[in-house]
């Protein structure tokens, strides 16, 4: 769909007030199209002209207020209307096309049984792929949906089911919602139902996933109920959309989407193989995140995409908070400190950085690009610190007043700040200016002066990066940790306010006995890059393995990883710390995140000469952890995955596939088998016959995706050529298969073979963007980027592409940010 500018949206909103859509879909055809009949009722300024987003294949008829509209009015993916009345009825009959890229009405054929599944994803500007619509967030309307489908199918929408007669489904009108939130699924879904506190619940998954859904339904329902109860404790307006259904759909571009009353998740959240506790916690957090959106985003919706943070920052914060409060996964703030906030910090330092709440988002293309670590994780971290300052009672009072004032409508940053300021009695305009309106991140460093074993002076030194001079106030914890009797324990926690100046002296520490470790930002209240004092940093390798608090360990790992990313500490030092501390780590999320991050840094920051030794040390750390992990535990599975990804011991990997030498309790199930085979393929120790044999034994959606990734990873010229041709030129492949092909393409072990494709990326990727759009295009261009081909030449080619006129904005951002990552890698190597 063409991008919608903010100016166009504002102009249209001044002319039009939409009342309702009645959408009648016929999904019984067998081709790549479906029938759509839509009745749109709206008010308008008499005599005005406007347009609707609309991308038909063919048009049977268009009438406005009973008069025919010429079909050419539906050209250019917009339907132009003129001579509007005060009350209008638009009726359109058209043929529309299914998609294979996760936008519009996505059609998927399950390789396991040949069944067809559909899901509707109208975000961010794709409603016109299904129906003519005023596709912007502040033109809310009620949706009434009717569907004719094959008799064996199940259909669900945002609205309550009113009647079903064979394949004919009628749903009740919804409350007023934005067009991008209109949801629909259809197909032979496997369904589980339940009820809680008067709210009907349902789960949907493909028939091929019936067994894992049945096995996991009790846990998913339990988390859903616990989160609903916690939100009802916090919010005065109960869940506002009738039923609460959750569908697990194939090839979904996002992790999940908050459609009111019918949340859709990617179906990897119902895995058929073993899960770690981290993966279970992540699923619980996403369930809570999407549930938070039922209030933040669905009940009250941003007026335009510059206030995206009103959706995502709040859902990110509440997802972590409610999961920790209400479920057995009480360690979500550890995950947030290490993983989620790290995502925000990385995004905030790239060339594409932007404020949490930008003053201007010019169009929907720019809006899509702001779905990043800043709008999610940075915004959530900023909220966490705000609440520490305001107090939770005032914060919740402000939110409830905000919901009451804007229920089923739209709101802005000013609206929310007004409610919070009134509830807390504090003027938040200054806070919003430095935290929400200005980009980039500050660095906080401890500066310590000692007299023997006591502190003479301790200060927090705050700096800002070049070009972003803002210093900010921070509420921050400082922990004093001592090593005694084989453990490291916190002696004291100070909570202090760091001023928006370059240096804040901490008088409370003057004359205090020096700690073995002085942990800045203990408790993780502040959003900032953190650097320890020299003595504490030197003690980390000794103290980290003995530190009992998982959040404190996560903060130390996060600071270490960040220092390596910045080139302040060598990757060899990180690898040494991994070998020393990770084998005794008990928190699965720390194990998984540290191994993942370290592997990525070794692949890019180590040279071709030093990488093999560094990778071997990572493999040794994972192997040691595997040896001491309880049989069948999450730690064991995380260690095994880490070992597989780092080892070059092909004989051991082959033995695992044959069921030999496998640690007791470790199930080499379908997905672990694919991971082992993938590593063998990368190392040149398995070929196409092995891939096809594995696929024959696992003819499933996941198996098909793994096979695509494995074929792309083969270190053979013909395999690389075939994979590259698919990435840049095959529009018939679905979004997921293209993404997995791109993810499997680049490997440091194959640099010589891959060298010609570095230049091809920069010359051929612009043409690929003509085939793909939106989130699918962003994921593909990022996965296909030659990130492991670290060289000045790669940067030269990137600069050439970035200088090209009219470069697609998605490709521009991916190349710009990926090139900045490579700049860091080259500096680290030097």
When pLDDT is averaged across residues 581-609 and rounded to a whole number, the result is: 96
CATH 3.40.50.2300 applies to domain 442-526+528-569: no
Residue 470 · residue 506 · CB < 8 Å: no
Residue 727 · residue 741 · CB < 8 Å: yes
Burial 520-535 (b: 16+ CB within 10 A, else e): bbbbbbbbbbbbbbee
When pLDDT is averaged across residues 35-41 and rounded to a whole number, the result is: 98
Cα–Cα separations (whole angstroms), residue 486 to 460, 479, 481, 584, 588: 30, 19, 13, 14, 22
When pLDDT is averaged across residues 657-678 and rounded to a whole number, the result is: 97
pLDDT of residue 1: 66
pLDDT of residue 130: 98
When pLDDT is averaged across residues 78-102 and rounded to a whole number, the result is: 96
When pLDDT is averaged across residues 445-459 and rounded to a whole number, the result is: 96
Is 660 among the residues known to form the active site?
A: no
Q: How high is the mean pLDDT of the chain?
A: 96
SS (H, E, C) 510-563: CCCECCCEEEECCCCCCCCEEECCHHHHHHHHHHHHHECCHHHHHHHHHHHHHH
- The yes-or-no verdict on residue 39 having pLDDT over 70 is yes
Residue 738 · residue 729 · CB < 8 Å: no
| 684/702 Cα distance (integer angstroms) | 22
Alpha carbon 24 to its chain's center: 32
**Which DSSP state fits 99?**
B
Percentage of the chain exceeding pLDDT 90: 96
Backbone φ and ψ of 546, nearest 5°: -105, 0
Residue 455 · residue 512 · CB < 8 Å: yes
Query: Closest Cα partner for 40 from 116, 94, 92?
Result: 92
| 515/534 Cα distance (integer angstroms) | 13
pLDDT of residue 426: 94
Map out the domains of the chain as residue ranges.
Answer: 6-188, 300-435, 442-526+528-569, 570-668, 715-830
**Which DSSP state fits 630?**
P
CATH 1.10.390.10 applies to domain 300-435: yes
- The yes-or-no verdict on residue 765 having pLDDT over 90 is yes
300-435 and 442-526+528-569, same CATH topology = no
| 26/670 Cα distance (integer angstroms) | 38
| 47/199 Cα distance (integer angstroms) | 45
Q: Residue 761 — pLDDT band, cuts 50, 70, 90?
A: very high
Residues 6+ away with beta carbon under 8 Å from 825: 604, 605, 790
- Work out whether strand 262-266 and strand 244-249 pair parallel, antiparallel, or are unpaired: parallel
If 0-12 CB within 10 Å is exposed, 13-18 middle and 19+ buried, where does residue 208 land?
Answer: buried
* Tens-digit pLDDT profile for residues 704-731: 999 999 999 999 999 999 999 999 999 9
Q: Residue 71 — pLDDT band, cuts 50, 70, 90?
A: confident
pLDDT of residue 233: 98
* Tens-digit pLDDT profile for residues 459-480: 999 999 999 999 999 999 999 9
- The yes-or-no verdict on residue 774 having pLDDT over 70 is yes
| 332/341 Cα distance (integer angstroms) | 12
Q: How far apart are the first and last CA of the chain?
A: 45
- The yes-or-no verdict on residue 97 having pLDDT over 70 is yes
When pLDDT is averaged across residues 738-752 and rounded to a whole number, the result is: 97
- The yes-or-no verdict on residue 756 having pLDDT over 70 is yes
| 398/424 Cα distance (integer angstroms) | 8
When pLDDT is averaged across residues 546-565 and rounded to a whole number, the result is: 96
| 658/705 Cα distance (integer angstroms) | 22
- The yes-or-no verdict on residue 74 having pLDDT over 80 is no
- The yes-or-no verdict on residue 628 having pLDDT over 80 is yes
* Tens-digit pLDDT profile for residues 692-703: 999 999 999 999
- State the architecture of 6-188 in CATH terms: Sandwich (2.60)
- Work out whether strand 256-257 and strand 16-26 pair parallel, antiparallel, or are unpaired: unpaired
pLDDT of residue 559: 96
| 764/728 Cα distance (integer angstroms) | 7
Highest mean pLDDT among 33-42, 65-74, 481-490: 33-42
The helix/strand/coil state of 280 is helix
**Which DSSP state fits 376?**
I
- The yes-or-no verdict on residue 795 having pLDDT over 70 is yes
Number of H helices, E strands in the chain: 27, 28
Which residue in the list 55, 251, 277, 290 is annotated as catalytic?
290
pLDDT of residue 790: 97
CB atoms within 10 A of CB 318: 27
When pLDDT is averaged across residues 634-642 and rounded to a whole number, the result is: 98
């Amino acid at each position: 769909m063409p991008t919608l500018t903010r100016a166009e949206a504002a102009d249209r909103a001044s002319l039009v007030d939409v009342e309702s859509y009645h959408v009648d879909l016929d999904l019984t055809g067998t081709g790549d199209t479906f029938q759509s009949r839509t009745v749109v009722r709206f008010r308008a300024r008499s005599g005005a002209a406007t347009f609707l987003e609309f991308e038909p294949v063919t048009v049977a008829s268009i009438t406005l207020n009973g008069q025919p509209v010429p079909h050419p009015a539906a050209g250019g993916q917009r339907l132009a209307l003129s001579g509007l009345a005060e009350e209008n009825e638009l009726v359109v009959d058209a043929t529309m096309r299914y998609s294979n890229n996760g936008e519009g009405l996505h059609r998927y054929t399950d390789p396991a049984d040949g069944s067809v599944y559909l899901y509707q994803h109208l975000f961010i500007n794709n409603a016109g792929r299904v129906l003519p619509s005023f596709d912007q967030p502040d033109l809310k309307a009620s949706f009434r949906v009717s569907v004719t489908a094959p008799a064996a199918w199940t259909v669900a929408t945002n609205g309550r089911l009113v009647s079903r007669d064979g394949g004919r489904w009628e749903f009740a009108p919804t409350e007023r919602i934005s067009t991008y939130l209109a949801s629909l699924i259809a197909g032979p879904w496997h369904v589980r139902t339940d009820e809680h506190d008067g709210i009907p619940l349902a789960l949907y998954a493909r028939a091929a996933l019936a067994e894992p859904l049945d096995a996991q339904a009790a846990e998913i329902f339990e988390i859903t109920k616990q989160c609903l109860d916690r939100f009802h404790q916090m919010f005065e307006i109960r869940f506002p959309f009738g039923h609460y259904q959750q569908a697990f759909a194939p090839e979904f571009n996002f992790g999940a989407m908050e459609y009111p009353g019918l949340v859709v998740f990617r179906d990897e959240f119902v895995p058929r193989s073993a899960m770690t506790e981290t993966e279970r916690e992540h699923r619980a957090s996403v369930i809570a995140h999407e549930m938070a959106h039922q209030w933040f985003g669905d009940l009250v919706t941003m007026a335009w995409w510059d206030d995206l943070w009103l959706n995502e920052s709040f859902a990110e914060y509440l997802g972590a908070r409610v999961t920790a409060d209400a479920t057995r996964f009480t360690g979500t703030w550890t995950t947030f400190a290490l993983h989620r906030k790290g995502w925000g910090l990385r995004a905030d330092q790239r060339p594409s950085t932007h404020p949490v709440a930008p003053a201007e988002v010019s169009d929907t293309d720019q809006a899509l690009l702001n779905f990043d670590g800043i709008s999610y994780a940075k915004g959530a971290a900023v909220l966490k610190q705000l609440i520490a300052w305001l107090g939770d009672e005032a914060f919740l009072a402000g939110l409830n007043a905000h919901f009451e004032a804007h229920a089923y409508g739209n709101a802005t940053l000013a609206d929310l700040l007004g409610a919070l300021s009134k509830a807390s009695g504090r003027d938040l305009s200054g806070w919003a200016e430095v935290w929400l309106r200005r980009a980039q991140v500050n660095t906080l460093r401890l500066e310590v002066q000692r007299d023997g074993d006591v502190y003479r002076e301790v200060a927090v030194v705050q700096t800002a990066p070049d070009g972003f001079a803002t210093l900010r106030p921070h509420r921050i914890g400082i922990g004093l940790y001592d090593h005694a009797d084989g453990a490291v324990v916190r002696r004291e926690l100070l909570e202090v306010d760091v001023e928006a100046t370059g240096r804040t002296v901490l008088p409370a520490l003057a004359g205090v006995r020096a700690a073995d470790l002085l942990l800045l930002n203990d408790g993780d209240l502040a959003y900032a890059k953190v650097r320890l004092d020299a003595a504490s940093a030197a003690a980390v390798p000794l103290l980290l393995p003995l530190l009992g608090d998982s959040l404190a360990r996560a903060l130390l790992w996060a600071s270490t990883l960040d220092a390596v990313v910045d080139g302040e500490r060598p990757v060899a030092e990180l690898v040494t710390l991994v070998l020393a501390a990770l084998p005794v780590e008990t928190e699965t999320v720390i194990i998984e995140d540290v191994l993942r991050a370290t592997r990525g840094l070794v692949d890019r920051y180590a040279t071709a000469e030093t990488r093999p030794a560094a990778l071997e040390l990572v493999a040794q750390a994972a192997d040691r952890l595997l040896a001491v992990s309880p049989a069948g535990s999450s730690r064991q599975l995380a260690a095994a995955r880490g070992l597989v990804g780092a080892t070059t011991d092909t004989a051991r990997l082959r033995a695992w596939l044959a069921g030999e030498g496998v640690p007791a309790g470790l199930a080499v199930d379908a997905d672990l088998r694919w991971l082992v085979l993938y590593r063998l393929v990368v190392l040149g120790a398995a070929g196409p016959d092995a891939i096809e044999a594995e696929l024959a034994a696992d003819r499933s959606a996941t198996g098909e995706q793994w096979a695509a990734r494995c074929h792309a990873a083969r270190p053979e010229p013909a395999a690389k050529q075939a994979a590259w041709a698919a990435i840049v030129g095959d529009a018939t492949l679905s979004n997921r298969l293209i993404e997995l092909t791109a993810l499997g393409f680049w490997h440091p072990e194959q640099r010589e073979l891959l060298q010609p494709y570095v230049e091809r990326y920069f010359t051929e990727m612009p043409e690929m963007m003509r085939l793909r759009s939106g989130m699918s295009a962003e994921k593909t261009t990022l996965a296909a980027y030659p990130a492991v081909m670290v060289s000045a030449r790669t940067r030269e080619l990137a600069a050439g592409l970035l200088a090209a006129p009219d470069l697609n904005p998605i490709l521009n951002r991916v190349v710009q940010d990926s090139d900045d990552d490579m700049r860091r890698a080259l500096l680290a190597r030097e």
